[in-house]
Chains A and B, each alone.
Chain A
């Protein structure tokens, strides 16, 4: 009797909070220098943005990986800021040049769908389809695996890439968040 009433109350609260989550909208936009030390910053920023949804460890790992791939592409392909490594083992003086440029990271949380847009104003791509082929890379000397887009596609629900040579590139990805059961853990 009392227990039943409490159960109903918990269920109603849970539905109310979940409804709030569904109706809520949150947005963030950060712009940072296209340098490799910001790859980690971008990952952590997105993780922090979604942390209140209590994502599963796998969701978090997937999203951080997708962000890392997109941001890295903007830095090393968009702006050619390579802190990479040549196969031949030389010190590459040319790579110590840092080209000025910014990466824009724009996230929207709307009705439990996370939208992530990574854009740059770098050199852009002629052939987006080719670039998105698994194992294809324009920088084999950097020991790039060519799996960046493949991982983004695998870890996110949707992926759209727009690019104009000489103008820049926009990578837009979406993922539906399966909100964790933080409400269910009633003391």
Chain B
């Protein structure tokens, strides 16, 4: 699956195996380019491949949420393992980003 896909006005972002500061720029730039260009309503972050994430991942998701919520859109997270869900809860991000079950 490609890193970024648009399906039915929904931007699907396939998160990499390691989500850290080093990889954050690529994800943010790619997502934002499509957010602006296409008619995106919602964003879904797919953590299926992700084996590690630090607070950079929270920053990435939070940034996309800020952008899309201005237009009434929603952000979802799928295939997030226990550790990632923990990071979401600790940062309060789970209150604005819906974590969908596998």
Does B63 sit within 8 A of A, measured CB to CB?
yes
Mark contacts of B29-48 with chain A using CB atoms, 8 A cut-off: 1 yes-contact digit, 0 otherwise: 10011001000000000000
Does B78 sit within 8 A of A, measured CB to CB?
no
CA distance A75 to B55 in the complex (A): 15
Q: Which chain B residues (6-63) contact chain A, with CB distance < 8 Å?
A: 18, 20-22, 24-25, 28-29, 32-33, 36, 52-56, 58-60, 62-63
CA distance A147 to B91 in the complex (A): 7
Which B residues lie within 8 Å of A150 (CB)? 55, 90-91
Q: Which chain A residues (140-168) contact chain B, with CB distance < 8 Å?
A: 142-148, 150-151, 154
Does A76 sit within 8 A of B, measured CB to CB?
yes
Known pairs A40-B22, A61-B83, A84-B24; A89 contacts B54 (CB<8 A): no
User: A interface, how many residues as a size bin?
Assistant: 20 to 34
Does A43 sit within 8 A of B, measured CB to CB?
yes
Which B residues lie within 8 Å of A39 (CB)? 20-22
Contact A145 B83 (CB under 8 A): no
Could you say which of A36, A58, A89, A147 contacts B21, with CB atoms under 8 Å apart? A36
Contact B32 A76 (CB under 8 A): no
Could you say which of B28, B32, B52, B56 contacts A145, with CB atoms under 8 Å apart? B56
Does B87 sit within 8 A of A, measured CB to CB?
yes
Which B residues lie within 8 Å of A68 (CB)? 20, 52, 54
Q: What secondary structure prevails in chain A residues at the interface with B?
A: helix
Which B residues lie within 8 Å of A58 (CB)? 82-83
Given A68-B54, A76-B21, A150-B55, 17 more A-B residue pairs with CB atoms under 8 Å apart are A36-B21, A36-B22, A39-B20, A43-B52, A58-B82, A58-B83, A69-B54, A72-B21, A75-B21, A84-B21, A84-B25, A85-B28, A89-B33, A143-B60, A145-B55, A145-B56, A151-B87
Measured CB to CB, the residues of B under 8 A from A are 18, 20-22, 24-25, 28-29, 32-33, 36, 52-56, 58-60, 62-63, 82-83, 87, 90-91
Measured CB to CB, the residues of A under 8 A from B are 36-37, 39-40, 43, 58, 61, 64-65, 68-69, 72, 75-76, 83-85, 87, 89, 142-148, 150-151, 154
